[in-house]
Structure 1
Amino acid sequence: MNYCSTIVIFFGGLGMFLYGMNRMAEGMQKLTGAFVKNFLEALSDKKAMAILAGVLITAIIQSSTGTTIMVVGFVNAGILSLIQSVGVIMGANIGTTVTGWLVSLFTLRNLQYGYLIASFLVGIAAFMMMFLKTEKKKVAADVIFGAGILFLGLFTMTNAIGQVKEQGDYVQKFLYLGNRPFLAIIAGIFVTLILQSSSVSIGILQCFALNGLVNWKTAVFIILGQNIGTCMPALISSAGTQVNAKRSAMIHLFFNVFGTIVFGFGMAIVFARNAGFANGTISSAGIAAFHSGFNIVVAFLLAPFTKLVASFSDIVLKSHGLEEAEDDVELASRHLDKRILESPSFAVAEAVQEVVHMGEVAYESVKLAFDAIISRDARKVKIVFEKEDTIDKMTDVISDYLVKISALPLTEEQHTSITNLFYTVSNFERMGDHAENLAELCNYMIENNIQFSEPAYKELEGIMEIVTNSFIYSIRARRDLSKESADRARQYEDLVDSIEDELRNKHMKRLANELCKPTSGVVFLDILSNLERISDHADNVAGYVLNEI
């Protein structure tokens, strides 16, 4: 077999390995996303819990790089504190070793045996996808299929390497790297940076080890480099974030550089004193064991100094005075951090929170418009116009994020939730429009000196209170996914409909009896129409919630 054919087969195997890992990770996130989300939200500053969270998340998404990028997003969005992120990052370094152990255990007896099991997993998963109807079983099939494809890719790469190992002195080339630790570390950094995953680069190293091409000395220094390389994407991703998010990414780099220095010098001494061990062939399990041992020991050494590490990052990355106050649009943009899209469950949860926040801004605008009409306050009218601009911008930011989420691997429930959030955003935006309409009517009243009779004002105050309640309960329903709040919102909306008809009739009688001017009568009826439409939109929001329950 010539080199070109071998390279093609190797890259085909690498493609299967990457695709299988991605498919398995997506399935695991669907199966466990809600559990991990609740677990992470319940974190206190206890280091052990934060480390465990990092291990779990990384074991699920199969990438410490992905976890760290997500952590940068969590810190930037205010979901995690800097102290909490330190523990999660420690756990991420440990969790990334899971893939290596899976590879080593799967190839423990012999490659042929593992190849048969991988083929069997793919076949079983295919039949499950074809004949099972429930979503959870299909997701489980996705996980099994991904695992099977991952290991088929591993065996393909291993066989490709085996085909050419006799055609050149590859052992000598690896020995060359082992005799130059700095070069081996750079090689590990470079490969991991290209592949964006230490799990994948470790898997490739294990393929070489399965063919007997790697000794302990070379493998150790390459692994140390891989642990540094996995930090780089998160550092790049932290550009443009809040200072604490940058610190979080820098802490990850500090951990792995610290570990590399300690283990690098330590293992160099061990190898110098035991040449037989240094030059002995390392197994796939040996690579997994060292990778795990390295990350566990570094976490054990640094765990007592979590606050000190955070303080060190504060010294290196100083904030330049007080952060400028952020408006609602800037907060929404920061909270809807694109890095959180690495975890669909968290992305959906953050989207819900920002949609609720948008509803609260729209509610403030509506309430100000109500007060402006009753008090004829031009200052409040101006604030309503400003809030309308904010609501429009929030609509764009949130809608764009929802589009991105809809492209993620979501469960059916999450797809339903995202669809309903799209509709909810639209309804909150329309409620803001009606607040603007009311503000414009108030301006018209002030400019033309239009006054209502005392009974008319009392009637408006009464129906405004009911509309306000329908709005409040629709927001609560969306926030808490509450059937009780949704039902209350709909009850208030029904009450608004009946009262609106009654008030229209009363006002028509006042017009007929010439108790008010025709001009004021038109404005009064326009106000009623806008109030009724606001309660209609509140009813729509409640309906979307009931659709999810």
Structure 2
Amino acid sequence: MSWSGLIVFAGGIGLFLLGMRLMSDGLKIAAGPALRSLLASATRSPVRGVASGVLITALVQSSSAVIFATIGFVNAGLLNLGQAIGVIFGANVGTTLTSWIVALVGFNLDLQRLAMPAVALGMGLWISGGGRRAALGQALTGFGIFFLGLDVLKDSFAGVGDALDLHALGARDGVGLLLLYTALGIVLTVLMQSSSAALAVTLTAAAGGLIPLAAAAAMVIGAKVGTTSTAAFAVFGATPAAKRSAAAHVIFSLVTAAISLPLLPWLLALSRLAAEAFGLAAHPATLLAIFHTLTALLGLLAIWPFTAALVRWLGRRFGAQDADEGLPHHLDRHIVATPRLAIDALAMELRRMGAIAHRMARAALSSESGQDARLLAEQATLERLGEAVIDYAGSVHGGGDAVVDGALPQAVRVAQYFRGMAERALELARTPSPGELPAAQAAAIAELRAAADQVLAAADPQDRPDLAALDAAQARFEALYRQVKGELLRAGSRGEIGAAALVRTLDRASALRRLLDQAGKAARYLARLGVGTDATDTARAT
């Protein structure tokens, strides 16, 4: 291949990768709610999880995108690890559709006649609309560019096989060369960060006669191993749930490769029999597509009986981050491209923040001492989490999705309210106790604290709060607060309470009032996070 041929080949890979990226990103945005519903349906059974993984990957044309979305559901608490593993296994099977597109479309149709109308229509939708229409146009444009890249790759390998007789090389050293081609498949996938692109190169090279069929099959296995690099790179800085899910993907791919490579000659023979049985031409690309599907199914059959043991084993790994409350447990940077999933992750992280803020509030409410070192540590934890939530919300782009665009500022508000609760809790704990109060005033303060406990219970972030009950609890506290404040001021004016004790008591009651106000606002916004904004609730919260 000449230098100009190499440049054309590299350009073909670039077009293919660009098309895949545009198609995948566009479909994820256009089918955002549907993707969310399909993945959520995987909770019903492990088999449905595998089926959902196959279907969604076939539609989105990116197993990495589906796996990262699944990790997002785990982070958001909508799927457990066992359910997510089923989707991941299915995604590894669903990615074989790329091989079938290359084999059945790439060598049987005039790809430019297919690609150009798709690019024209897609760009028309993309530049003339917004929201899901623009996303659909982006996906359609990517679809056309995908086939243009495939057409360039196919032409790049045409006739190269006549000049390079690698079949003879394969005959001289069969096993060694197969291992070499497996390594080449790994390297190609790691370099291009796309197993689909590596498979397209492999299938077109085999169809052009550049490499023998067995060597191409070894590259297909290598691409399966190489795709684990994406997951391996993704775990750096990721949440424990993301690391466990990524590890499941790596294990599946390695098991599939370890079984398929020794059985390669027999799997190729079975691929020929399958092609004949279904009336398909024994074209190298078709045989490799069948081979790719067989290896994925073989890996699934081999690992499926051990899924429960794998879930238990992975559940005991990567636990150090879970032990640090100040590190986010649900915010995964790889799902920001799927905004609805990112909102779910934000909601879960905010509930963690809320649990800490409420714990601080109750500790401060019952504290009779001054500054509390534990409260200071917990406030520092909330500060770290609050900054992480705000940074994460800033990295999510709704792409015209009204629900997402409305939820992001709500998430920031909730984080700020929880941080405000922490500050008020510290203020309450640091305000010195007034000491002994007259019986009537002491009883009034005790009743006020009981009312505060009711507000905190109604605003509990771990469950979706009953906003009517929260309104009633806050109204009762507010009425008691005004009543108690008036009684304290009257008692002070009569000399029944000393000036210092009066000031301290009023300061503590005021700090408690502000704390509960922050808790109520946080509960209202958190209750609506991701489901739209009601004007009445917004006015009440602000």
TM over 0.5: yes
Q: Distance in 2 between matches of 1:426 and 1:263?
A: 58
Alignment of 1:38-49 (within 5 A): 38-41=37-40, 43=42, 46-49=45-48
User: 1:450-469 residue pairs with structure 2 within 5 A?
Assistant: 450-469=435-454
Cα shift at 1:172: 1.8
Q: CA deviation at 1:531?
A: 2.5
Q: How many Å separate the matches in 1 of 2:475 and 2:167?
A: 77
What are the within-5 Å matches in structure 2 for residues 483-522 of structure 1? 485-486=466-467, 488-490=469-471, 492-493=473-474, 496-497=477-478, 499-522=480-503
Tell me which of 225, 229, 240 is aligned to 1:228.
225
CA distance in 2, matches of 1:308, 1:386: 38
What is the rounded CA distance, in whole Å, between the counterparts of 2:321 and 2:227 in structure 1?
A: 34
Matches within 5 A, 1:365-380: 365-372=360-367, 376=368
Cα deviation digits, residues 117-146 of structure 1 (max 9, x gap): 32212222222234445x333332232222
Deviation at 1:538, TM superposition (A): 3.2
> How do 1:232-243 and structure 2 match up within 5 A?
232-235=229-232, 237-238=234-235
Cα separation, partners in 2 of 1:323 and 1:193, compared to 1, 3 Å: closer
- Alpha-carbon distance change, 486 to 456 in structure 1, aligned in 2, over 3 angstroms: same
**65-74 vs 180-189, greater mean Cα deviation:** 65-74
Within the candidate set 129, 132, 136, 1:136 is matched to 132
Alignment of 1:252-267 (within 5 A): 252-267=252-267
Amino acid across the alignment from 1:430: G
Identity %: 22
Structure 1 residue corresponding to 2:149, chosen from 146, 153, 162: 153
Structure 2: how far apart are the matches of 1:194 and 1:408?
A: 30
Deviates further, 516-525 or 427-436: 516-525
Q: How many corresponding residue pairs?
A: 516
Q: 1:224 corresponds to which letter in structure 2?
A: I
CA shift for structure 1 position 366: 0.8
5+ long unaligned stretches in structure 2? 273-280, 535-542
Letter in 1 for 2:23: M
Distance 1:250 1:156 in 2: 32
**Residue 277 of structure 2 aligns with which residue?**
none
Match of 1:348 in 2: 343
Verify the 8 A CA contact 1:189 1:227 in the aligned structure 2.
yes
Q: Counterpart of 1:430?
A: 420
- 1-structure distance, mates of 2:332, 2:310: 25
Report the TM-score when normalising by structure 1.
0.79
The answer on whether the counterparts of 1:175 and 1:218 sit within 8 Å (CA) in structure 2 is no
1:128-527 mapped onto 2 (5 Å cutoff): 128-132=125-129, 135-162=131-158, 165=159, 169-173=162-166, 176=169, 179=174, 180-209=177-206, 211=208, 213-235=210-232, 237-238=234-235, 248-267=248-267, 282-307=283-308, 326-327=322-323, 329=325, 332-341=327-336, 343-372=338-367, 376=368, 381-404=372-395, 406=396, 411-441=401-431, 444-445=432-433, 450-476=435-461, 480=464, 485-486=466-467, 488-490=469-471, 492-493=473-474, 496-497=477-478, 499-527=480-508
Q: Deviations over 1:506-547 (max 9, x none)?
A: 322222222211112212222232223223323433553555
Report the TM-score when normalising by structure 2. 0.80
Residue in structure 2 matched with residue 277 of structure 1 by the alignment? none
Q: Distance in 2 between matches of 1:324 and 1:7?
A: 47
Aligned to 1:329, the other structure's residue is in SS state: coil
Return the offset for 1:468. Answer: 4.2
Distance 1:145 1:475 in 2: 47
How far residue 73 of structure 1 moved from its aligned partner, in angstroms, is 7.7
Q: 1:197, CA displacement in angstroms?
A: 1.9
Counterpart code for 2:386: T
Structure 1, residues 60-115: CA drift from partner, whole Å, max 9, x if none?
Answer: 5533345556667877898766654553343122111122333344435422xx32
Separation of aligned partners in 2, 1:239 and 1:543: 35
Distance 2:7 2:463 in 1: 52
Give a deviation string over 1:267-310, Cα, whole Å, max 9, x none. 578899xxxxxxx9845444333222321233234434444666
Deviation at 1:362, TM superposition (A): 0.5
Runs of 4+ more than 6 Å apart: 69-79, 268-272, 308-311, 317-320, 322-325
Secondary structure of 1:336 counterpart: coil
Aligned counterparts of 1:75 and 1:523: Cα–Cα separation in 2: 47
Residues 353 and 479 in structure 1, CA contact (< 8 A), matched pair in contact too = no
Q: Contact conserved, 1:52 with 1:91, CA < 8 A, in 2?
A: yes
- For the pair 1:29 / 2:14, whether they are aligned, the reply is no
In the aligned structure 2, how far is the partner of 1:261 from the partner of 1:391? 51
Are 2:218 and 2:261, in contact at CA under 8 Å, matched by a contact in 1? no
Q: Deviations over 1:396-440 (max 9, x none)?
A: 333343344x25868332232222111110110101110110000
The separation in 2 between residues aligned to 1:89 and 1:36, in whole angstroms, is 14
Rounded Cα–Cα distance in structure 2 between residues aligned with 1:185 and 1:352: 43
CA contact (8 A) 1:94 1:296 kept: yes
Deviation at 1:59, TM superposition (A): 3.2
Distance 1:219 1:459 in 2: 82
**Is the contact between residue 31 and residue 139 of structure 1 (CA under 8 Å) also seen in structure 2?**
yes
Superposed CA RMSD in Å reads 4.0
Q: Deviations over 1:17-38 (max 9, x none)?
A: 2222122222322344444445
Q: CA–CA distance in 2 between the matches of 1:450 and 1:532?
A: 20
Please list every run of 5 or more consecutive structure 1 residues that lacks an aligned counterpart in the other structure: 273-279
- The range that moved more, 8-17 or 208-217, is 208-217
Q: Which runs of structure 2 are paired with 1:1-40 in the superposition (5 Å)?
A: 3-40=2-39
SS at match of 1:333: coil
CA contact (8 A) 1:216 1:282 kept: no
| CA distance in 1 between partners of 2:383 and 2:333 (Å) | 20
Q: Deviations over 1:142-171 (max 9, x none)?
A: 322222222223223334444xx46x8455
Partner of 1:276: none
